[in-house]
Amino acid sequence: MLSDRLRVARESLGLRQADAAGHLGIAESGICDMEAGRREPKAAQLAALAQLYKRPIDFFFSNEPVAQEVALWRARPADAVAEKKIQREFFALCENYQSLEELLGISSASPLPEETIPKDDFGFQQAERLAARIWEQFDLGAAPATSLRFVLEERFFVKVFALPLASEASAASTRSHRFGPAMLLNSDSMHWRRNFDLAHELFHLLTWRVFRDPAEVSSVESGEEEERLANSFASHLLLPEGPFRERLDPFLDKAGNLSISVAQLQELARSFDVSAEAIVYRCAGLFHWRKEQTLGIVEKVHIVRTRRESEPVEMLPSRYISLTVQAYRTGLISYKKGAEYLRKGFKQARDILEPSDDGAETDRQITVTAD
């Protein structure tokens, strides 16, 4: 029922009836009456509520059961209301993405693998082996961070979005029955931090059924052990042993000890597109450094941090944008819907949706005949 869906949409964001009423400019009793079924919202009011609740209009008229989606956060925003709003926006983007794929008749030919080792048998050795297997299976090459996101999005159709999160918050992931595997990154983070977060969240997607019950949808949490395993996986995936040892060879003495400067550590980090700290911890594992020794080197890396520019990140994946343009130009979605999907105003969306003269040429059908 419309009334029930209005209530579910509001509560999923942690909003009070007074908040919704203030958004519409009506008395709180008006929202109460709508959610009790005593009155229906006017078309303009429903549109305003859909915008506030980050839901498509169709959601309020659907007869399907309301799917409760949950995200696994690496570090949640401190503000619970802000967390719910961010999470709802993330899910709304994923739902848009899924709608575009359905409209265009696209389905993933390469489902993301799922680990099946029982939780009690899954330790650091299994995490490292999983990283090695995924590195080889995904053909990530000598610098996996430079290609991992592209492979996940284009080959496995993982939905990866980036939104500005609170400074204390980090990435999140979900494996939804509705829209499949998806990740949320912090657009405010340095790009090498986002690279590590991407690999970290990939571990959770690969082991989703190992560490949590698929039937439990009220909430999902990860324990300290699972987070350490995810960090180990990310480190081994982004710094694969073969290519990493090869890059370290020039810094080894005859006894096999590593002799490397902070500047050289920073250069290694650039080449693998990860943080210098990630390089230090990977070396610590390979050469069995003591904890005190490792922390001392990490401190030196922090002190002698060289300037390193971070690449900006687009909130929307390039594939998502491409599908939106394709759906609009083939008449499957309206201009208004296209602008909504792109999170742009009408004028800004025009530059993306409307083909230029050059674009019109590239859209023209090409026919090749045999001689």
DSSP string, 156-198: S--EEEEE---TT---EEEEETTTEEEEEEETTS-HHHHHHHH
pLDDT greater than 80 at residue 362: no
Q: Is 223 helix (H, G, I), strand (E, B) or coil?
A: coil
Buried b (16+ CB within 10 A) or exposed e, 330-358: eebbeeebbbbbbebeeeebeebbeeeee
pLDDT tens track for 68-94? 678 899 888 888 888 888 888 898 899
Residue 45 scores a pLDDT above 60? yes
The predicted-structure confidence for 130-184, as pLDDT tens digits, reads as follows 999 999 999 999 999 999 999 999 999 999 999 988 777 889 999 888 888 999 9
Give the model's pLDDT for residue 371: 47
Whether the predicted pLDDT of 55 surpasses 90 = no
Residue 65's alpha-carbon distances to 15, 37, 68, 110, 148, in angstroms, are 21, 18, 9, 28, 35
Length of the chain: 371
Highest mean pLDDT among 38-47, 242-251, 309-318: 242-251
Q: 243-257, 300-314, 353-367: which range is least confident on average? A: 353-367
Residues of 274-288 as b/e, b for ≥16 C-beta within 10 angstroms?
bbbbbbbbbbbbeee
Alpha carbon 155 to its chain's center: 15
121 CB-near residues (< 8 Å, 6+ apart): none
What is the Cα–Cα distance from 241 to 283, expressed in whole angstroms? 10
Question: What pLDDT is recorded for position 215?
Answer: 59
What are 6's two structure tokens? Answer: 């209005």
Largest CA distance in the chain: 83
Would you state the pLDDT for residue 87?
87
162: nearest Cα among 151, 171, 175, 150: 171
Q: What pLDDT sits at residue 115?
A: 92
Residue 42 or 235, more confident: 235
Q: Which of 41-45, 105-109, 121-125, 310-314 has the lowest mean pLDDT?
A: 310-314
Whether residue 304 has pLDDT greater than 80: no
Q: 300: how many CB neighbours lie within 10 A of its CB?
A: 15
User: Where would I find the H helices in the chain?
Assistant: 2-12, 17-24, 28-36, 43-53, 80-103, 124-137, 148-155, 191-206, 208-211, 224-238, 241-248, 262-272, 276-287, 291-303, 318-329, 335-342, 346-353, 357-363
Structure tokens at 124: 């650091």
Kindly tell me if the per-residue pLDDT of 358 is higher than 90: no
Give pLDDT, residue 365: 54
- The more confident residue out of 35 and 218 is 35
Q: Name the residue with tokens 């986002």.
A: 194
Which candidate, 258, 263, 304, 249, places its Cα nearest to that of 284?
258
Mean pLDDT of 231-251: 95
What is the structure's pLDDT at 59?
Answer: 79
Q: Which two tokens stand for residue 118?
A: 């029982």
Tokens of 294: 């490792």
* Tokens representing residue 325 in the block: 């343009």
Q: Stretch 39-67: mean pLDDT, rounded? A: 81
What's the whole-number average pLDDT of the chain? 86
Instruction: Give the tokens for residue 341.
Output: 């999907």
What DSSP state is assigned to residue 234?
Answer: H
Tell me the per-residue pLDDT of 215-229, one tens digit each, with 9 for 90 and over. Answer: 555 557 788 999 999
pLDDT band, very low/low/confident/very high, at 208 (cuts 50, 70, 90): very high
